[in-house]
């Protein structure tokens, strides 16, 4: 097993690359479960049902017509946002899979978040939608 250095992940919102405004990104994928236990079973049987996904990233704030703040503002509450996360900015492949999250919801964000002496950041949180893992 190779140990992976993670330091140049790529995150796209639609066609916009916001990687240079982020210092961390996390994606969690899975499935909700349904109880498929029937009479006579001696333990619970679970089956996967709907996909579940969440994405979070810490984003450095910037303002302007084509800024990351303007991009996120336009996506809040839409419910049809596409986010693509890749561990590295290198080409997608077996060693660098991409995860595409379609029709996710960015419910809110903090467009103003300041502390004296600190760089202003906000946490981007998206949930719901469907996900696909690609290796080519």
Would you place residue 111 in the very low, low, confident or very high pLDDT band (cuts 50, 70, 90)?
confident
pLDDT given for residue 4 in this prediction? 63
Question: Which residues are CB-contacts of 96 (< 8 A; sequence separation ≥ 6)?
Answer: 86, 87, 88, 90
Which CATH number does 10-35+43-134 carry?
Answer: 2.30.110
In angstroms, the CA 98 to CA 22 distance is 17
pLDDT 10s digits, 2-54: 566 667 899 999 999 999 999 999 999 999 999 999 999 999 999 999 999 99
């Amino acid at each position: 097993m190779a140990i992976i250095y993670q330091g140049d992940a790529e995150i796209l919102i639609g066609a916009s690359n916001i990687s240079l405004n982020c210092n961390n990104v996390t994606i969690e994928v899975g499935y909700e479960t349904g109880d498929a236990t029937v009479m006579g079973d001696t333990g619970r049987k679970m089956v996967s049902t709907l996909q579940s996904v969440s994405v979070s990233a810490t984003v450095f704030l910037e303002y302007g017509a084509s800024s990351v703040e303007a991009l996120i503002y336009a996506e809040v509450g839409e419910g049809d946002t596409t986010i693509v996360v890749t561990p590295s900015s290198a080409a997608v492949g077996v060693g660098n899979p991409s995860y595409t999250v379609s029709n996710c919801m960015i419910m809110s964000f903090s467009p103003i978040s300041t502390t004296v002496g600190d760089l202003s950041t906000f946490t981007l949180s998206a949930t719901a939608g469907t996900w696909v893992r690609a290796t080519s």
